[in-house]
Amino acid sequence: MGKSKVLVVGGTGYIGRRIVRASLAEGHETYVLQRAELALQIEKLQMLLSFKRQGAHLIEASFSDHQSLVDAVKKVDVVISAISGVHIRSHSIGLQLNLINAIKEAGNVKRFLPSEFGLDPARMGDALEPGRVTFEDKMAVRKAIEEANIPFTYISANLFAGYFAGSLSQMGSFVPPREKVHLFGDGTLKAVFVDEDDVATYTIKTIDDPRTLNKTLYLRPPDNILSQADLIAIWESLIGKQLHKTYISPEGFLATLKGLDYKLQVGIGHFYHIFYEGCLTNFEIGPHGEEASMLYPEVNYTRMDHYLRIYV
């Protein structure tokens, strides 16, 4: 069988652009949705044109035009959505319900990957308010997918390195500190840090793989299962000095959280579950999931000691 034709929705976004590149690199005939509103966003338009020069096809369609979505979906075998789910930028998860309706009507899609790429929302039913809205919205999308009997793969990519590793998981900056650092609790609970290009590579690997059909793929590269303290120790080794450490209690963190703007509360509230509860690593992957590095050992994923060197 030949490689699937792929449509990427949200292809100019943070993860979407990487998925487009990974799809092209793996030799898939790749289509990128071009929404009308991008015509006045020059950087995104130029990115779309750069994809076209690399061999991608651009398809004009809109979430407000059902037939345009149906026509776009009919051209491909696989649809990958990477539209934004981050409240501090543009939370658009609900728009995927329009896309699901189009996929259902088109009837030809053999795999749909909705926009998740973070914590597994199925495990976050007890998440703090207001941050739980992220998981509730994603679960509403999952419900619509499964009720429509659309074949799927969900991607749980854990922590993007650009957001959580480069910053040593500090709030308020995406570059590592050189003098002092805050740790959540005692800093020893394990999390999982994944280079964003590796997220895209693993995502594209799944689309023609029967082992990931109707399952969740967890990205847990074993060398990147690290605590915050582990990550800080890597950075200290790279810069040759010890950072001054301040430890934030759970109570202190929650008190700080309450004073923030709503959008910040939504995103930063997730830190509590990651670093105080260890929600990324405190469970075994069951029969409804697979682990990416075990399925695809050929992927030479980026280790965090290498990742952090660029910041030195």
Interval 305-310 mean pLDDT: 98
Active site residue 110: no
CB 30 within 8 Å of CB 204:
no
Catalytic pick among 5, 52, 104, 138: 138
> 36-92, pLDDT tens digit by residue?
877 778 999 999 999 999 999 999 999 999 999 999 999 999 999 999 877 555 678
Query: What pLDDT is stored for residue 289 in this prediction?
Result: 98
Query: What pLDDT is stored for residue 87 in this prediction?
Result: 56
CB 153 within 8 Å of CB 180:
no
Under the banding of pLDDT at 50, 70 and 90, the label for residue 206 is very high
- Mind spelling out the 3-state secondary structure of 206-264? HCCCHHHCCEEEECCCHHHEEEHHHHHHHHHHHHCCCCEEEEECHHHHHHHHHCCCHHH
Check pLDDT > 70 for residue 1: no
Query: What pLDDT is stored for residue 259 in this prediction?
Result: 81
